Structure 1
Amino acid sequence: MHGIKGIVYSKKSRVQNIDIVDSFEYGRMLILDGKVQSTVRDEHFYHEALVHPVMVAHEKPEDVLIIGGGEGGTLREVLRHPTVKSVVMVDIDVEVIKSSRRFMPELSGGAFDDGRAEVVIGDGRRFVEGCRGRFDVVIMDVTDPLEEGPGQFLYTREFYESVARVLRDGGIIVTQATSVYYSTYCFATIYRTVESVFGRAGGYQTWVPAYDSMWGFVYGTKGPDPEAMDPEGVNERLRERGLQGLRFYDGATHQALFMLAREVREQLGEGRVATDSCPTFMPI
């Protein structure tokens, strides 16, 4: 449990409980329904790991869709890439966006004011199902799959089939995929579900100090495979795009992200395919 110095903001929105607090270890923290989402001290571990492996793997990502990510960190990292022409960010809770911009502006770093960004307040799944646009990269920065939570149907085969429809040829999807160790079966199930739709999928991880866990990510691809990129190739693409200010991600880190422990690799095959009628849930 993190030591809390004081409560900065607390509100129950129509979707979830939102708390922003000051902590001793991690500075200001965003907490949703009692679970830490981002802290100013270590958010770059999570956001850079979520965004850059797939963005760098894609040769020229121009149009990007973000589901979730209301605090703005994922949007900030996507907009670092000069190839990007437009980003649509869909979040179900406007109060998360408002409170994060007011009390934790360093998370978005001005990204909401970028002319390439469009923010849509609404249900991410409904947006995808009704979307006529096409995207090069889809990034799922949503809450964990908790029973009765807002993200429970954003990890199912039916949803990923809708995502596949809006992805262009050569496109890539990535989703946060819960704790690799505390919820290995859930991680494996997300992997199996993505794989069942895209055919080619992969999992990777990074340590996020505020989560006290190795945190998992799963991608599915219609084109390039992020895991196939070597450190030199990653660094060359970062140089070509002139990405500046990264604190976590580079070629060596990219390679390390995919080094799952043997027992985790073995358990990937033990997951199941999650469906709307039988979704997966992260143990609380």
Structure 2
Amino acid sequence: MTDMTGWSVERLHDDHSQALRETRVLYDSQTDHQRLRVFENPTFGRVLTLDGVVQVTERDNFIYHEMLTHVPILAHGRARRVLIVGGGDGGMAREVLKHRSVESVTMVEIDGGVVEFSKEYLPSISAGAFEDPRLDLVIADGAAFMRETEGGFDVIIVDSTDPVGPGEVLFTDTFYDHARQALTEGGILVTQNGVPFMQGDELSGTMRAFRALFEDWTCYLATVPTYAGGPMAFGWGSTGTAARRTDAETLRARFEAAAIETDYYTPEVHLGTFALPPYVSRLLP
């Protein structure tokens, strides 16, 4: 058996794993909800794992965060109120708050410990987002918040862990139904739906719920190096049909007006990301 001392081995899947070398462990603690670890890796910089599963890295987090924020916000075109469910590391808030047109961001995170240690050990990921006066941080269960909120959100971003443990409730039909009710007319819900090649059932389940709830529903893709097994899928559900059909010229104009810097997102990438390979299309109902 190979000696894996000094390596973080992820065992999210029964028959497939990845390993990242740990050059230095900065944090290792069990909270009420999960085990949090931060370590350094030569390629990916600081890495956060929850219960042994990679959540975010300094080096490649921009792909995930840009694609879950700029795609719905720029497709919508008039997003003023945004809700983030999860996202305790602050990366999603960082990208949403780049849009000066967004007036308020509500971020609901179940584990306050994630927020506090992210500020200390992963400050480059939030990049000051927690200090932005437009951000309202709520430490609460996301499903309960969604059930009780008065809504009025133009965009809802579900930055969840995989559907195990605390994140499982964020993948239910009931949660998606409450999210649908919390959206304004023409509003957009986007979700993290894992790697379809490895987690096809997860995407199929979400898409069945979206088909019943939304006027427009599908998924889009982006490849994040530390999420093993191919491109990630992001669920898309909208209460209207116009947003996903926003043309290239309009997207470019909105992107230029937003005056934000990106390392992955472009209007051209935006349009292409909805083109699905057959193996993913077959997972949609």
Q: C-alpha separation between the residues in 2 aligned to 1:225 and 1:185? A: 28
CA deviation digits over 1:27-47, x for unaligned, max 9? 101111111111010000100
Shift of the alpha carbon at 1:195?
1.9
CA distance in 1, matches of 2:63, 2:275: 16
| Structure-2 residue corresponding to 1:87 | 105
Closer, same or farther in 2 for the Cα pair 1:17/1:128, shift >3 Å? Answer: same
Partner of 2:255: 238
- Which one of 187, 192, 209 corresponds to residue 176 of structure 1? 192
**Counterpart in 1 of 2:277?**
261
TM-score by length of 2: 0.90
| Whole-Å separation in 1 of the counterparts to 2:112 and 2:66 | 23
The answer for unaligned runs of 5 or more in structure 2 is 1-18
Structure 1 residue 24 displacement after superposition: 1.9
Say if 1:175 and 1:217, in contact at 8 Å, map to a contact too.
yes
Q: Give the stretch that moved more between structures: 130-139 or 10-19.
A: 130-139
Q: Is the 1:87–1:117 Cα contact (8 Å) retained in structure 2?
A: yes
Spell out the pairing of 1:1-284 with structure 2 (5 A cutoff): 1-146=19-164, 149-212=165-228, 213-242=230-259, 244-269=260-285
What residue identity is the alignment partner of 1:116? Answer: R
Change (3 A) 1:3 1:230: farther
In the alignment, structure 1 segments of 5+ residues that lack a partner are: 270-284
2:9 equivalent in structure 1: none
- The one-letter code of the counterpart of 1:217 is F
Work out whether residues 151 and 181 of structure 2, in 8 Å CA contact, stay in contact via their aligned partners in 1.
Answer: no
Q: Which amino acid aligns with 1:28?
A: R
Q: Which runs of 4+ in 1 moved over 3 A?
A: 224-227
Q: Is the 8 A contact 2:62 2:264 kept in 1?
A: yes
CA contact (8 A) 2:186 2:243 kept: no
Over aligned residue pairs, what C-alpha RMSD do you find? Answer: 1.2
Larger mean CA deviation between 185-194 and 120-129 belongs to 185-194
For residues 64 and 253 of structure 2, the distance between their equivalents in structure 1, rounded to whole angstroms, comes to 22
TM-score normalized by the length of structure 1: 0.90
- CA distance in 2 between counterparts of 1:210 and 1:232 reads 33
Query: Distance between the aligned counterparts of 2:113 and 2:177, measured in 1?
Result: 29
Sequence identity (%): 36
Give the distance between the partners of 1:35 and 1:135, measured in 2 at CA.
Answer: 30
CA contact (8 A) 2:80 2:101 kept: yes
CA distance, structure 2, for counterparts of residue 53 and residue 223 of structure 1: 15
SS of residue in 1 equivalent to 2:168: coil
Q: Supply the AA of the counterpart residue of 1:42.
A: D
Deviates more, 1:75-84 or 1:185-194: 185-194
Q: CA deviation at 1:225?
A: 4.6
Deviates more, 1:216-225 or 1:112-121: 216-225
Moved more, 221-230 or 194-203: 221-230
